[in-house]
A and B are shown apart, each in its own frame.
Chain A
Amino acid sequence: MNTAIVIARNTISEALRKKVLNAFLMVGFAMLVLTFAFQQFAPRQELTLVKGMGLGIISMAALLITVILSINLVPTEIERRTIYTILSKPVRRHEFLLGKYFGAASTIFINVGLMGLAFVLAIVLKQRGADMGSSFNMFKGIWMIYCQMALLSAVAIFFSTFLSPLVNFFLTFSLFIVGNLSSFTLDLAKNTQNVLAKGFFTIVHYIVPNFGNFNYTNPLVQANVQVKSELALLTQNTIYAVVYATVLLIISILVFDRREV
């Protein structure tokens, strides 16, 4: 496990060397601009816009960082042939893969965390310190974005064990969109009369990673959208992300274990 941690640290350092954190700077700047961009609206509308857009920008930036970072982690090592050096040492393949994943997840965590901090700070400033509770509530949305991206990173790493980065890019994005259709697939499964279609949509709903689970902007932005069991939902979503990412990593290990590199 120590070996995986060492690889994870290296992955973080490499990502930081590639100036991945510049994305945070840009998003932070966008947050400041956003804070003053909608002053022509009534205060409630302005806050709705700032919160909705802010979480959206973080989500968008995190999505790009996650996909671009994760699809390249394994192929780059193979392309540069550095993987031979690593695997010739007492490093097992699954340790290498886990290290890469933890490195990516940590890099995403740092990025999303910093963007989230800038966002919450912008909201606090916007509200001049009033209603701190609702400002800090934004961290719930930011945590959900992180969980979503950690799962997406596992998807991209899984694909990267047997696909080229270009194909991986499109497949990961496609799966992200399909996974966001969770409520849609559930409705389709419920409403269709065709048994085959019902079975298909049910399988899609339960087997495809359900990224729609993590869309938590509505309750944070619209005061009228209340969640009855918020803690249960956030906890179950977090466990879901961990469980599904573990499943994907196990499959990745199984695939990568027998791959010729």
Chain B
Amino acid sequence: MKNFLDAVRGNPKLTAGMLALLAVQGILQSRIDVIRKDPNIEPPSTRKSLGGLPFEYALGAVSGFRQVIAGLLWVRADSFFHSGNYDAILPLLRLITWLDPNWLDVYSTGAWHLMYNFTDTDQRSDRRYLPVGIALLNEGIEANSTVFDLYKEKGWNLFDKVKDYDESVKAYQQARDNDPAHDINMVEHLLAHATERSGNPEGAVKAWEAAMAAHKQRMDAAKGTPTEADAMSRNTQGLNNATKNRRMVSVRGYCRPRDIARLGQVDTNMSFKVTRVRPRVLRVEGTWNLVGCIKDQYDDLSFDDQGTPKAATISSGIVMDGPVDGARVDIRLQDAGYAIPSPKEFSFEVPDTLTIMQDAINSRGGKKTLRGSLCAINTGASTDPNQERAGVYSYKDDASAPKGVPIVKALAAGQLSPLGQLQLATLVFPPSTRKKKFYTQADVPGIISEIKADATKLKGLTDRKFYVALEDKLMPSEFGQKREIDMSKDPKMYSFKADAYDLILGFNPRIAPDFVQDRLGWNGEGMTDKRYLRTDIKPGLRMLSVKLKLTRDDIVGADTKVLFDDSKGIGLDKIQK
């Protein structure tokens, strides 16, 4: 030290130069700090994140090897995924997102994994992980708030998995507003879809128009740049899709209220029964009238490319309606009073005493045959798409079918109603063969004459057992008749530790496919039900919903027992107001 001080004293100029340079580096450091912090080049080394890491990872992180360690862990997580060891992935997700909070793929893949891949034996998602997945995305959004990717992921998960369209709309709006360079197809198109699903067709039209304007703006901006070809191709396709979708929402916005006014509300007349088949195995079955627009029988030809009616008075959309397959009845069994939490921070620990089961049961088999219209008798389900397009229902035998006469005889006797004639024309000469989307009554007489003169066609109809009904026949759609909800094989997921449970059965028209919404409306305006219609669950939404209060014994009890049957008045006291 003495030698050093002597050297310092002996070299005053060099020492002064060194001190001056030391001051310069201090000034440089303060300037570098500003650039590195705005925005953060490295994730902020908060005590929380570093403190949460095991020592060796924290050491790696502070030594400048964050990405390497995060990458290695991600490779490990991937190998766990492929070997089916899903539980092992979750702690790795925690470590990786702490080490490299800017790695978007980890958040999006992690959230997908949490929300979709944890399932029971029958592939039902473990709903306890949904808030956890959303919390992970929220954490990612907080660390990457200026890019659209994770808002978009959140929007999609809320749309597709949670089916909370209002929240999905908010997430997509944030994606659009926080990142001017967002992908229009991924963000604004989905924003429009989510807006429509949230029961807001006017908002959806505006969202599509905004997307169209954004596509045009991107194309203008790309002119003369090296990326012009790519931008043009992508945005042209996007603009075409947005234009088509905007038109269809406009058409439906015009037609749906008019169709409902013209055809009247559908009385869904839902009835159901809940049976404990074995311990932890339930069967939820029932019937209801599920009516929609028959396949391809939707008239949008009277509207221009913007979806505006071409004349002051035009026919509305539905050409033919009737019972349809394709919508689902939602069943949810959960600890009594459970409400989805909104955790502030991602944690992969889910409460192991919590039980949530959610399923969606297909509804099918509804039939409607009116006097003078067509029906068929065959043992199998209808597989002929032309028969489906014509709204002709099949019955499995004579006993279940309406009384009728063979079609040749009915034709000769003039027993076909106008609907029956339309069905026959559609069935024998599908509209596409005449370059039409569907037939109107004006097209029918000529085609019927052709059919009458064609012996081969008539023989074919006779052989396929097509009849003309002499009476009306209505059969409701059924759900859950052959379906057991088995929760006995997954005790970790369905622990049934609580004393009381809510069994919620419902139908939300916002989730229903377009052809069902065409008849029932975006918000259930076209349906009513004397027992289970609820208008107080979400503002503006009319949905079918009923909540039963079950005890633990109701679910885990030994013998077969009917817990609820509204047709026989069993268990009505379990209904919660």
Residues of A within 8 A of B (CB): 38, 40-42, 44-45, 48-49, 52-53, 55-57, 59-60, 148, 176-177, 180-184, 186-187, 205-207, 210-219, 221-222, 224-229, 232-233, 236-237, 239-240, 243-244, 246-247, 250-251, 253-255, 257-259
Contacts and interface: CB of A to CB of B under 8 A. Distances in A.
A134 to B, nearest CB: 14
A49 B104 contact: no
B71 A53 contact: yes
Q: Which residue among A183, A219, A232 has the maximum number of chain B CB atoms within 10 Å of its CB? A: A183
A224 B104 CA distance: 8
Given A186-B33, A215-B64, A225 B41 contact: yes
Contacts of B88: none
A176 B59 CA distance: 11
Given A206-B29, A215-B64, A243-B24, A49 B74 contact: yes
Given A219-B41, A229-B35, A243-B21, A254 B15 contact: yes
Interface stretch (B42-50, B161-169, B544-552): B42-50
Contacts of B39: 225-228
B530 interface: no
A215 B42 contact: yes
Contacts of A259: 3
Nearest to A56: B68
Nearest to B45: A184
B35 A48 contact: no
A212 B4 contact: no
Contacts of B62: 177, 180-181, 184
Given A184-B62, A247-B21, A253 B14 contact: yes
Interface in B1-48: 3-4, 6-8, 11, 14-15, 17-18, 21-22, 24-26, 28-33, 35-36, 38-47
A94 to B, nearest CB: 9
Contact of A56 (B21, B65, B78): B65
B149 interface: yes
Interface of B: 3-4, 6-8, 11, 14-15, 17-18, 21-22, 24-26, 28-33, 35-36, 38-47, 50, 59, 62-68, 70-72, 74-75, 78, 82, 100, 102-105, 109, 144, 146-147, 149
Contacts of A207: 22, 26
Contacts of A227: 35, 39, 41
A254 B46 contact: no
A218 B68 CA distance: 11
Contacts, number: 161
A240 B63 contact: no
B67 A221 contact: yes
Given A246-B21, A247-B22, A255-B4, A224 B149 contact: yes
A95 to B, nearest CB: 14
B179 to A, nearest CB: 9
Contact of B102 (A57, A206, A224): A224
Contacts of B147: 224
Nearest to A188: B47
Contact of A176 (B8, B14, B36, B63): B63
A49 B106 CA distance: 11
A64 B30 CA distance: 29
Given A53-B71, A237-B32, 13 more contacts: A38-B75, A41-B78, A45-B74, A49-B71, A49-B74, A60-B68, A176-B63, A183-B45, A214-B64, A222-B102, A240-B32, A246-B21, A254-B18
B26 A52 contact: no
A237 B29 CA distance: 9
Name the 10 nearest CB pairs between A and B, nearest first: A56-B68, A258-B3, A52-B67, A224-B147, A250-B18, A184-B45, A254-B7, A222-B102, A215-B64, A233-B35
Contacts of A253: 14
A56 B63 CA distance: 11
A52 B68 contact: yes
B258 to A, nearest CB: 46
B67 A247 contact: no
A38 B66 CA distance: 18
Contacts of A181: 45, 62
Contacts of A184: 45, 50, 62
Which residue, of A38, A60, A222, A250, has the highest number of chain B Cβ atoms within 10 A? A222
Contact of A258 (B4, B22, B70, B78): B4
A211 to B, nearest CB: 7
Nearest to A162: B4
7 contacts: A56-B65, A60-B65, A183-B44, A187-B44, A207-B22, A228-B39, A236-B31
B64 A52 contact: no
A225 B71 contact: no
A211 B75 contact: no
A127 to B, nearest CB: 16
A250 B32 contact: no
Given A187-B45, A219-B41, A229-B35, A243 B67 contact: no
Contacts of B70: 52
A177 B56 CA distance: 13
Contacts of B47: 187
Nearest to A221: B67
Contacts of B50: 184
Contacts of A182: 33
A217 B67 contact: yes
Contacts of A176: 63
B28 A211 contact: no
Given A41-B78, A254-B15, A222 B104 contact: yes
A40 B78 contact: yes
Contacts of A177: 59, 62-63
Contact of B71 (A42, A52, A250): A52
Contact of A254 (B8, B65, B103, B144): B8
Contact of A236 (B32, B42, B63, B146): B32
A222 B103 contact: yes
Contacts of A44: 105
